[in-house]
Chains A and B, each alone.
Chain A
Amino acid sequence: MAAAKTRTSSFSRNLSAAAPSQGPGLKCGPNGTVFLSSGISDLDKILGGGFPLGSLVMVMEDAEAPHHMLLLRNFMSQGLVHNQPLLYASPAIDPRGFLGTLPSPAASKDEKSHKHDPDQEKGLRIAWQYKKYFGESQLNFDGQRDGKHEYSNEFDLRKPLERHFLSAQRVDCVSIQDSPNLSALQDRSATFLSQYPRNDGSISCAGRIAIQSFSAPQCAYSNMEWDMLSFIRSLKSMVRSSNAVALITFPPSLLSPSFCKRWQHMADTLLSVKAIPDEDKELSQLLTGYQDMVGFLNVHKVARINTQVPVILDATTFSIKLQKRRFLVLECLNQAPVDGSSGTSYGTSGSCSGSSKTGNLDF
């Protein structure tokens, strides 16, 4: 519920020049925040609009699954499609190679919206998962707009991004494997962010920073935990005063527990991905749609800038599915119907309940 409702108070900020002419990549939100899209429309809805400018997003990886790469790829592609410059750092020796795997926006939304129509024809539908179907009507409505100028694109993971998006002015790559300390990366980030300072004027352009596997073991600095923490802190403060969003993924299993907690506290928005076991009979009985799932996404923290009101999500665990092996969707978990006690299966056991699809109906 709270993810959809935006509290409108009688006090409203005087948005003098900020609102118009920002282009499709940015969206205004409440409390004077401006959002940019994460590249995954479901995730934008869950987070209440997207990633706010000036925030630090951290993703906790699972050592057993590469799902954080899906988030990274969508984030990076979205920025490039919207002409938002990107700084990409990775522990690979040649980070540029990764750019070849970025997905391209899908052709059009029409094919997606038509898919739902045959389902509507069926006479009898089981209504216990009714919340799912409200989301569909919203989706059809969104699809009316022209694909190119949307705030959030649907990315086709099988189609690589066109070359002209990857030109050097827009993408800057850094390899963090061999650098003995983080000063080089810090300098590069500072230079990058200084191009997008935040002031009360209109926002001309927003930037994105994507750091992959920040504490990967092959990086020379990876056992200097305090240094890494102070880098994150300085990056966070630099990002806060600029029109940019930084996304850092890191494997928490390789950090000591106290540092893992400290890093989690540093984040404005904290997500984690988790692998799911293959051919697990218990899970397939307990969850519908288990066959299509590739992993779980947990939302631990949602960025709240300029406000004290917390976000309380209906559900914090979502399943990651690849539709037709191309499109990334996030769905809330639905438990399979239980013998008799169907009332309690919607219940309040934290992560398996309700619907995150925002709708006007406030169940």
Chain B
Amino acid sequence: MAESICRALRDGALEGEHAPALTIKDSIASPFGFHVFCHVLSQLSSFILAGKSQSGGLVVVSFSRSPSFYLELLKNKGIDVVSSDKRIQILDCYSDPLGWKDRLIEAGNFTALSHEASNSSTANVLKDVKHMDKLYNSIVERGKGLIGGGKNRFSVAIDSVDEMSRHASTSSVAGLLSNLRSHDQVSSIFWLLHSDLHEARVAAVLEYLSSMVTSLEPLHQPANGHRGDLENLSLIEHNLKKGKFHVRIKRRNGRVRVMSEEVHIEQSGISFTSLSSEGAINQGLVPKVQFSLELSEKERIDRANVVLPFEHQGNGKPIQIYDGRRSLADSKHERQVAATEKVQTNEDSGGGEIIYFRDSDDEMPESPKASI
């Protein structure tokens, strides 16, 4: 499932369509969002560098980690950013997002700090993140710088939308994201969100704007939230290593593909496996009906055991069926006397029964009816 997401980002947008957008959402119960983000980032980078993707470059807008972290990360995955800096650019919104350092220097309070030995060719420091317009322009500028003009496209990865929402209103963040999506030269875009940090509306807005939503949930819910309990502690520990990875993909034809996987965090990174137990993935959109449409196990067995009252069962031998005329047990005479019907049960195993009276049985022998 994670593969299909990466593939969708790799394939990018069709002509005249908005770029596919992925939201990675996590919460404190299952805090692997950043791992998933890094995984998607490294996958997409390797696709781009191998030339397999629609986009020719990637702009990483880093808010919550410094650019050197990403350089390290990509190097560990075997992607050397420095030599391929024509393809990957990191927009540094981490070091000095509000421009404080400059203002401090201007105010003359202290001499300029020695800057980190950052690769200034890949990391471009952005000093004013409050204005989403400026951020938008910087992103687009970097992207265009990467790919040149024409029909080429670039991808955008936003480290964390939380930081953006801190500085600007939800509608301007939404405006930035939707403008990026509808930009002709953006091939795909993805971002990370920690849902606990916001009101529910922000998460709803981001889901509205994206074409794929992945959310991380814990495998086991701790009971009652009593954190002190020993069993809950072990559950929580468990949850810190594993989780459930849900994906909702909005397809072009208007249907939604829902998938789930298990995710494991290991030293080397993150791995996805299929779910061990399949839960019900969607709540029924079809209204609930009062009768059950399926047979239970017992009912199925009973149904298989019932002998149908046909003379020929098709298995080569004539079958003796209790048809109401003769009784398998002894007491037949009493039955003939009785005028009213009595229920005679077949000596079957199981509970399935067919009560069958031949029509000809209903005819009484010529007995005088009681007359008044």
Q: Which B residues are closer than 8 A to A by beta carbons?
A: 169-172, 174-175, 177-179, 182, 201, 204-205, 207-209, 248, 250-251, 253-258, 281-282, 284-291, 293, 295
Contacts and interface: CB of A to CB of B under 8 A. Distances in A.
A122 B213 CA distance: 47
Ranked 3 nearest A-B pairs via Cβ: A217-B174, A218-B175, A278-B255
Interface centre among B205, B207, B295 (most CB of A within 10 A): B205
B285 A283 contact: yes
Interface residues of A, number: 45
Interface stretch (A187-195, A196-204, A261-269, A349-357): A349-357
A220 B257 CA distance: 32
Given A66-B254, A277-B257, A294-B253, A217 B285 contact: no
A320 B254 CA distance: 10
A349 B207 CA distance: 32
Interface stretch (A2-10, A48-56, A229-237, A336-344): A336-344
Give chain B's interface secondary structure class: mixed
Interface in A311-336: 320, 322, 333
A218 B169 CA distance: 10
Contacts, number: 105
B256 A276 contact: yes
Interface in A258-291: 274-280, 282-283, 286-287
A320 B291 CA distance: 27
A278 B291 contact: no
Contacts of A15: none
Nearest to A221: B171
Given A217-B170, A280-B282, A350-B287, A253 B255 contact: no
Contacts of A279: 257
Given A253-B208, A352-B287, A67 B171 contact: no
B201 A254 contact: yes
Contact of B171 (A218, A274, A275, A283): A218
11 contacts: A66-B254, A93-B179, A217-B174, A217-B208, A218-B178, A222-B174, A276-B285, A278-B251, A282-B286, A320-B254, A338-B293
B204 A253 contact: yes
A63 interface: yes
B255 A349 contact: no
A144 interface: no
Contact of B286 (A66, A275, A341, A352): A352
Contacts of B207: 63, 253
A296 B209 CA distance: 21
B284 A339 contact: no
A295 B254 contact: yes
Interface string A91-112: 1110000000000000000000
Contacts of A91: 178
A320 B289 CA distance: 22
A97 B171 CA distance: 23
Nearest to B284: A282
Contact of B291 (A64, A283, A341): A341
A177 B285 contact: no
Given A223-B170, A223-B171, A286-B286, A254 B254 contact: no
Nearest to A352: B287
B284 A218 contact: no
Contacts of B177: 218
A251 interface: yes
